[in-house]
Amino acid sequence: MALQNRTNSRHPAQKHRDRRGYRGPTPTARILALNPALWLDGCRPAFSDAAGTTIAAVGDPVALWPDQSGQARNATQSAAAARPARTATGLNFDSVDDFLSTPLLMPDRVTILLIYQNAATGTLIGTANVLQRSAGVWPDANITYIPASIYAQRQATFCWDYIDDIYKIYGQGALLASETATARSNTAAAIDVGRGFNEFVGGEVQEVLIFARVLSDLERMTIEKILAAKHGIAR
């Protein structure tokens, strides 16, 4: 597959100088050092064909959103009618049938970091079947560990532990909800972007970072700050 992956000319391992003159790893290198399981970045090219040869222009349907983690877990959609549209900063999902599939199964322990905007309903990240393990964002009132306030955010972090049944949600760095629960499905399922339990999101997804473990507070806050600065999100 002739998949193009145009990146910044600076190598990820090169040193980065911040405004104070500090020289250290680039933000990209700091993220990669934590070994993400999946990384979809709206600032990088997405493709209008499944082969990854034609870069999608703004407004074009997206068939392939390349994984930047190095794990080659690209998000794809084979059905033309279900492809989200490219925007200047991410992908826009129509709340009707748009979604992308990934080969990544929801881990036993997982941290999901999302950047999005104009999302008012539906599932940003999830799985297709209610009987399968999911860490989706959806507004159903009976799902007590998903606060409705999440839709007012642009940045969300989900720390799910399906082994010890501990669930935490952060919005723009602040803890929004925390729950210890037992009635959670223990069947892993492949992760979709823009869909969960057949509830489709309406809005723009700009970045998705998934780690196959629960990050430490320091790690989580470091990545949240990197993403907030990148996307101009006040904290």
Can you tell me the distance from the alpha carbon of 16 to that of 40, in angstroms, rounded to the nearest whole number?
22
Q: How many domains does the chain have?
A: 1
In a domain, 68, yes or no: no
Angstrom distance (rounded) from CA 175 to CA 187? 27
Q: Inform me whether the pLDDT recorded for 206 exceeds 90.
A: yes
Instruction: Report the DSSP beta bridge partners of residue 112.
Output: 158, 210
Considering the domain boundaries, does residue 216 fall inside one? yes
- The pTM (predicted TM-score) of the whole model is 0.84
Provide φ and ψ at 17, rounded to 5°: -105, 125
Q: What is the pLDDT of residue 145?
A: 47
Contacts with 129 (C-beta within 8 Å, 6 or more apart), sequence order: 189, 197
Q: Is residue 226 part of a domain?
A: yes
Whether 189 maps to a domain, the answer reads yes
Distance between CA 179 and CA 107 in Å, rounded? Answer: 18
Q: Could you tell me the CA-to-CA distances from 66 to 14, 48, 110 in Å, in that order?
A: 23, 11, 20
Percent of the chain topping pLDDT 70: 75
Task: Dump pLDDT digits (tens) for 6-21.
Answer: 444 444 444 555 555 5
Highest mean pLDDT among 71-85, 112-126, 168-182: 71-85
Query: What's 167's domain CATH number?
Result: 2.60.120.200
Name residue, tokens 């009132």.
141
Domain encompassing residue 202: 20-42+104-231
- 132 inside domain: yes
Domain-located, residue 124: yes
The DSSP call for residue 7 is: -
